[in-house]
Each structure stands twice: as C-alpha cells, then as structure tokens.
Amino acid sequence: MRPVSEWEEKDIDDLHKGEIEESLTLEYKRSEALMKDPGQRKELFKDVSAMANASGGIIIYGMKEVGNKPDGTDDGLDPKLVSREQIENLLMSNIVPQIEDLLIKSVTLTSKGIGNVVYVLDVPAARSRAPHQAPDNRYYKRFNFKSEPMRDNDVRDLMRRGIEYGRKFGAAFNLFIEISRVDAVALSRLQMGPNAFVDLERALIDISPDLRSAGGVLVLMNRHVRNSIGELLLRIDHFNAILQGRGLPKVSIDSSVQAELTQLRQLCDEVSKALKDILDREP
C-alpha cells in the first residue's frame, strides 16, 4: 500500500477490488459522515480520536461498506462545500490535545466525472500527547471495528505511554547533542594533521557524566541504539587507552590514531542518525 499522500482513485478502487476488510487500522465511511449534521460531527470526532488512541490508521470517507468489506465509492463530496481545510479545522479545534501529523488527502473521483472527492484521513497513533479526547469529554479507542469508550485503566495506560514517550524524546535529544559534541571533538583531532604533536590531555576525548551514566534512559531506546551507544563508549575508552598507553606527555596524531578517530566518527554518525529518526517522529 502506497503512502496516503500519494493516493489516487486507483488506490481506493484497489481496496474494493481486493475486498480489503476493515480492521483495527482501516475504516470505511460514507461521504455523508462529513456533513454538518451534529450527529455526524459527533461520530467524526469520536472515530478519529478513537483511531489515534488505538494504533493509528486510515479512515476513508466516501467508501460504501457492507459487512466490514468495501462496496465501492459513493458519489463523494463537492470540495467547494466540504474542503480539506474545513475538516482539518474541525478536528484541530474539537479533539484535545490536537492530533499532530494528521494527514487529510482529497482524492478526486475522476470516474464520476463531476469533480467530487473522497477524503482519506491518515491518523497517527497517539504518542507523547496521548490520549486524545472527543468534545463530549470522553476518550474512545477503536476496538473490533467500532469506536468504544475507553475504560479507566486504558486511559491511564495511554497517559503512562505518553509520559514514557516524552521521556524517550527528551533522552534522545540530550544524547544527540552529546554525540554531536563527541563527533566534533574527534574531527578537531583529525584536523590537527598526521605530523602534529599535542599534549596528551588535549588529545584525549572526554566522556561527559551524562553520557557515561545514560543507562537509565537507554532502556527507553531500541536495541540498535542501546548497542551502538554502548559500542561508542567502549571505542572512546579504547582510543584514550591507546594514547595513555604510550606513556608520553605529548602524542602524535599518526595514522593509527587517525584510523581510530575515523572509526569513532563513523559510529557517531550512525548513532546520530538513529537518534534523529526518533526526534523526527515527534511532533
């Protein structure tokens, strides 16, 4: 399935032809569900917030449904009467906290020949702002093809996950800054040149107490990040041990030292990319 941002009418027709059933992350709605009727609006807020509070997913407004299976598109909506901006403003002003990174894609129903569109909502899963509340002051979650009120323990669990995600984001930011510092220090040593003799203390790479004691926050990261940062710490210690093992007040930034610095920088780059990926996923 292509990213929703790239969808065309064919992508929606393929769901119908493939008889792709509704699921925890896919829901079909008729176009009328986006009309101004108060009851329809209530369902809109409930369904979108419920999708976010579950695993996120796609809601297609303009697809008929029979027995949880797609039954082809309806006539769609006139974008002059119901626009993408109107839908976005409605959701942003009625669901709290706001759902960041919500994508609303209008897909023109070219086959209908009347200029109408289907609206596809790509709803991200709730993260640091979880859970999201509908305007009736209730929390909903998608469960068994329906948007059901959440129980107290489910609300508390989502709040806990939101706090944990916030901690993970903060930890990733702090680690990204520290790894960037280590990389800059390693680069400065490389730039001294192969014939440079410098004071031992100046050549060593310092590990800050925050990075040295990062174990408490590394448990929030995936295994790749944890292992990479652990390897980075060992490599810095190994680099410093090589210089100190020479037993001289001044050391040469020779080819062997440069090789160690190059490997250190490569590892810094790898860790930084992984941390930046975490930061980029946070609104």
Give every CB contact of residue 83 below 8 A, 6+ residues apart in sequence: none
- Check if the beta carbon of residue 252 is closer than 8 Å to that of residue 261: no
User: Could you state, in order of their start, the residue ranges of all structural domains in the chain?
Assistant: 4-150, 161-280
Give pLDDT, residue 133.
93
Identify the pLDDT of residue 129.
75
* 193-209 per-position pLDDT tens digit: 777 888 998 889 988 88
* CATH number at 4-150: 3.30.950
Whole-number pLDDT of residue 41: 93
Comparing CA positions, the residue from 53, 71, 61 lying closest to residue 4 is 61
Q: Strand, helix or coil at 243?
A: helix
**Regions of the chain where pLDDT drops below 70:** 163-164, 166, 216-217, 219-220, 281-283
On the question of a common fold for 4-150 and 161-280, the answer reads: no
Q: What is the pLDDT of residue 151?
A: 87
Note the pLDDT tens digit of each residue in 11-37: 999 999 999 999 999 999 999 999 888
Specify the pLDDT at position 214.
73
DSSP3 helix / strand / coil % (the chain, rounded to 5): 50, 20, 30
132 to each of 124, 147, 148, how far by Cα in Å? 11, 13, 13
Question: How much is the pTM?
Answer: 0.64
Domain topology for 161-280: Four Helix Bundle (Hemerythrin (Met), subunit A) (1.20.120)
- Residue written as tokens 């086959």? 111
114: its two tokens: 């009347």
